[in-house]
Structure 1
């Protein structure tokens, strides 16, 4: 990952190239920009989380920015491929898939969590009141995944469970794609799945803790459900956090403005920055395509396993 001072200096140098005339040139071509976001939460939750960032970007870049919450991860990839989404937030696997399938894009930054890491883990949850203590205990049971292009919700569990000797499609009796990280947790709570794949940043920052904060997890009697009501029975190796990315084909001065807007975000609009993670993130870290090479290798492995089956 790039040093923040080096990144800021490069942005400043690019910004010097942007003259008022050239700014008018790109504004004529891009009178409005679109920020596309993968559906980690339900649509309303994602809109609430990213609306302040969208407003900040419009002000910082100088043209209206429209938020598009995609129905699935592939929609963000295809939206950027078509040029309809100029800026996007990806998970690492969906970003890697976009790059591997020819989408010309440049990662900008990813989020640094309150534990100081710019990344997270994939976990397999079961309910704490269940008898399941290991992956072997779940043979023939139902697993809720998130989306085919989700890192923590599909690609990472398949890859790391395979390394541990478990083929997801052979161990579990049924696997279903819930569509979002929240829906996977809800499938576990409601008993339609015996286990669920999901993201895990730290003991105090998971999809479960975020859903609990929003009051989304309840027992039939109405009492609250929290992190202690779930048990992690499998945890992946460390994964880089997904990036914000922009189309490589955008004019250089526009890309410089977008990059500077993200570099400035944590201090320029702390409220918008904190809203992205419920105040759990410390900063943004500059990233490059090279940072996601391990994820590309993971996808290639999974693709090969699927072809063999």
Structure 2
């Protein structure tokens, strides 16, 4: 007969086992590195992510260090080497990591304020320009973000191909990789490029919206630019929000603890969570690596475009 004493003893044994298991991974991983790519300037990334990383340290009971990677490739190679344990990926860079054999698994992505889990790649022009469509921009300068950016390079090239523009580098006068989403919008605002690709969820949730909120974009007379100073001339099909991913080789209980901390963040530390997106996200959606299978096919398509151009 099962007695209360036996049940209690079993519970104590289970708690001891879980505690011992946690101690095992904490001794092996006294510090975890969480890497993000700078969509904005480095100081902005630090201010945005530091409270959340402090929250993770508290929840996991081990030090979590923020690493601001130079670009998407640095995140991919850092996870390949095992120097980065948790990473914030764009969909395309995660697909690239998987395609090149990096042992990384997705566990979550962002939930937008409206409950959706996707965004768009858009082509922006200045509203003061005459351009209303991409076919009016032949010979003009295009600003892209990074070769491994989803909304800033891969999806734009896919969208251009659908419009019959298979080689952006010959269609446009010059194609400029700006390095970050912010830099692409700065290049557009300053006239370095006539059109820029960027990420956009809605008018209040985009790199442009964040930059306007901080007063980063100026007119020639020094006055702050507004949303109406920019126009979208093309919008892609929805793209799945990029994943948060951990190293596949991490202990199962550590991976579970990381996923749990993310899921509970909006209620356990709302201020830190809201800081990540200026209050434009609702939470973290539990995800699996297979959710990005479609993105992997997209990357294969873009790679084939490059091969055709090279040949």
Q: Shorter-chain TM-score category?
A: over 0.9
Secondary structure at the aligned position of 2:65 is classed as: strand
Does the alignment pair 1:25 with 2:48? no
Secondary structure at the aligned position of 2:278 is classed as: coil
Runs (5+) with no aligned partner, structure 1: 1-14
Does the alignment pair 1:62 with 2:68? no
Deviation at 1:17, TM superposition (A): 9.7
CA RMSD for the aligned pairs? Answer: 1.3
Q: What's 2:77 paired with?
A: 78
Q: What's 2:150 paired with?
A: 151
Counterpart CA distance in 1 for 2:298 and 2:130 is: 31
Most deviating of 113-122 and 177-186: 113-122
Counterpart CA distance in 1 for 2:204 and 2:48 is: 19
Deviation at 1:223, TM superposition (A): 1.2
Q: What does 1:14-53 align with in structure 2 at a 5 Å threshold?
A: 19-53=18-52
Counterpart CA distance in 1 for 2:162 and 2:46 is: 37
Counting matched residue pairs gives 295
**Which has the higher relative contact order, 1 or 2, with Cα contacts under 8 A spaced 6 or more apart?**
1
After TM superposition, which residue ranges in structure 1, 4 or more long, deviate above 4 angstroms?
15-18
Kindly tell me: are residues 84 and 132 of structure 1, through their superposed partners in 2, closer, same or farther at Cα, counting changes over 3 Å? same
Q: What does 1:113-132 align with in structure 2 at a 5 Å threshold?
A: 113-132=112-131
Deviation at 1:37, TM superposition (A): 0.3
Q: Which has the larger radius of gyration?
A: 2
Check whether the contact 2:59–2:261 (CA below 8 A) recurs between aligned residues. Answer: yes
Q: What's 1:107 paired with?
A: 106
Check whether the contact 1:209–1:226 (CA below 8 A) recurs between aligned residues. Answer: no
Does the alignment pair 1:258 with 2:258? yes
Check whether the contact 1:144–1:193 (CA below 8 A) recurs between aligned residues. Answer: yes
Runs (5+) with no aligned partner, structure 2: 1-13
Kindly tell me: are residues 117 and 86 of structure 1, through their superposed partners in 2, closer, same or farther at Cα, counting changes over 3 Å? same
Q: Provide Cα deviations, 1:218-251, integer angstroms capped at 9, x if missing partner.
A: 1132211121101101111000000111001001
Counterpart CA distance in 2 for 1:128 and 1:117 is: 28
Does the alignment pair 1:227 with 2:227? yes
Question: Which TM-score applies when normalising by structure 2?
Answer: 0.92
Kindly tell me: are residues 40 and 18 of structure 1, through their superposed partners in 2, closer, same or farther at Cα, counting changes over 3 Å? farther
Counterpart CA distance in 1 for 2:265 and 2:114 is: 19
Deviation at 1:18, TM superposition (A): 6.0
Q: Provide Cα deviations, 1:156-210, integer angstroms capped at 9, x if missing partner.
A: 0001211121222232111011000000000001111111000010122221111
Check whether the contact 1:112–1:284 (CA below 8 A) recurs between aligned residues. Answer: yes
Counterpart CA distance in 1 for 2:287 and 2:204 is: 25
Deviation at 1:16, TM superposition (A): 7.3
